[in-house]
Amino acid sequence: MLQHILDATSTGSLYAVVALGIALVFGVMKLVNFAYGELLMVGGFIILLTEGLPWPIVVLCTLVGVAALAFLMERIAFRPVREADPTTMLITSFAVAILIQNVMVWISGRRAKGVSFGNALAEPVHIGSASVPIVELVTIGVIVAVLIGFVFLLQKTETGVQMRAAAEDFRMARLLGVNANWVIVATFVASGLLAAVASLLLLATTGAVSPYIGLTPVLIGFVATVIGGMGSLVGAAVGGFLLGVATVVFQVALPDSIQSYRDAFVYSSVILVLLIRPNGLFGSKALEERV
């Protein structure tokens, strides 16, 4: 039982970080950033490249590299369409995703490559009757730390307050003197840092990287953001966590014969949640239709 709880918690917290990165950008720009998964994927390749180095350097390179890519993405692709409607931005972001993915195909080929980063963490530890890979505990620990740091950033720093204000009501924030360019760049960089963290934890768990590893996380983050209630950061994190927990619960609870249908159950419940609460669990008032 304890084992399942830890499984669910670590999967859920990883999903929560991914969802938070997506929700942050969505909140400020109303941009559904499909290319977020590719940040994670590129992070994986940075880990692959730097893998011989001591781990703090690997972590640092990944954080810096992914944040830089997020910055470039905003400058080159998203700034020109910032004034456009959400559909245009959505389509642009998936084009950016396909672009980055295929640049990696060009550079590295389509095949998955093994990564030894975090191998040491695969060893199981025994807690009572449960046997849990260390990496799960590390994941939970790191994510709790990241979330605390993140809350601190949003609550206590000037930029954080501006980011929250912009997520709540972008126009009002601008009228009150928030610099739009700065707050958007900061948002992208912050979401890049979250992607880098997710990337490190994901690779330490799976041990392989290919140009296609970004898709699943971005879908999860996308879905979690909507379930949580678009524009609500807490909602996105909770939505991600619940999605992770749901995945593990279905994994454990479904009888073997229909086990392989797990994802069908997970995504059917997503549809169900949306039908019951179309604005998500923590729907933000800013998104309700005003006449």
Partner 1 sequence: MASDTVSQMRESLSRGRGSGLVRLVVGLVALVVAAELLSGWSPAAHTFAITALVHVMIVVGLFVFIGNSGVISFGQISFMAIGAYATGLLTTDVTRKEFLLPNLPDWIASIHLASFPALVLVGVGVAVLGALVGIPLMRLSGLSASIATLSLLIVVNVLITQSESITGGNQTFVGVPITTSTEVAAAGACFAIIVAALFTRSRAGLRLRASRDDAPAARASGINITRERVVAFGLSAGLIALAGAMYAHQLGSFGPKDFYFELTFITLAMLVVGGIFSLEGAVVGAVLISVIEELLGRLENGEGIGPISLTLHDGVTAIVLAIIVILVMIFRPAGLVGGRRGGGGKEPDDTEPEPVTPGPVKDADLGSVPDF
Give the nearest distance from C-beta 179 to partner 1 in angstroms: 13
Residue with Cβ nearer partner 1 (5 or 76) = 76
For the bound state, the minimum distance from the C-beta of residue 233 to partner 1, rounded and expressed in Å, comes to 16
Under the criterion CB under 8 A, does residue 290 sit at the interface with partner 1?
A: yes
Q: Does 268 bind partner 1 (CB under 8 A)?
A: yes
**Which residues have C-beta within 8 Å of that of residue 209, sequence separation ≥ 6?**
41, 44, 45, 47, 48, 112, 113, 115, 203
Q: Which is nearer to partner 1, 57 or 98 (CB)?
A: 98
| Local structure of 35: helix, strand or coil | coil
Distances in Å between the Cα of 223 and the Cα atoms of 158, 216, 251 are 30, 11, 19
Residue 281 found at the interface with partner 1 (CB under 8 A): no
Closest CB 6 distance from partner 1, rounded Å: 26
Tokens standing for residue 227:
């379930």
CA atoms within 13 A on the CB side of 91: 5
C-beta of 142 vs 281, nearer to partner 1:
281
Task: Choose among 216, 86, 248: nearest CA to 78.
Answer: 86
Residue 85 within binding range of partner 1, rule CB under 8 A: yes
254 binds partner 1 (CB under 8 A): no
Three-class SS state of 289: coil
For residue 257, state whether it binds partner 1 (rule: CB under 8 A). no
**Cβ 70 vs Cβ 192: under 8 Å:** yes
Structure-block tokens of residue 215: 């898709």
Kindly report the number of other CB atoms within 10 A of residue 194's CB atom.
30
> Containing H/E element for 73?
helix 55-73
> Cβ closer to partner 1: 54 or 278?
278
Helix (H, G, I), strand (E, B) or coil at 65: helix
Residue 103 sits in the site that holds partner 1 (CB under 8 A): yes
- Output the furthest CA–CA distance in the chain (Å, rounded): 59
User: Chain centroid to CA 64: how far?
Assistant: 17
For residue 288, the minimal CB distance to partner 1 (Å) is 8
Q: Quick one: which segment of 2-10, 13-21, 52-60, 165-173 binds partner 1 (CB under 8 A)? A: 165-173
Among 68, 88, 157, 181, binds partner 1 (CB under 8 A): 88
189: Cα within 13 Å, side-chain hemisphere: 13
The token pair at 20 is 């938070």
DSSP 8-class letter at 210: -
Binding partner 1 by CB under 8 A: which of 123, 158, 171, 256? Answer: 171
Token pair 């609870």 is found at 253
**Judged by CB under 8 A, does residue 176 bind partner 1?**
no
User: Could you tell me the smallest distance in angstroms from the CB atom of residue 223 to partner 1?
Assistant: 6
Comparison of 57 and 113: residue with beta carbon closer to partner 1: 113
Nearer Cβ to partner 1 (7/38): 38
For residue 80, state whether it binds partner 1 (rule: CB under 8 A). Answer: yes
The footprint of partner 1 (CB under 8 A) covers: 29-30, 32, 77, 80-88, 90-92, 94-96, 98-99, 101-106, 109-110, 169-172, 174, 180, 215, 219, 222-223, 226-227, 230, 260-261, 263-264, 267-268, 270-271, 274-275, 278-280, 286-287, 289-291
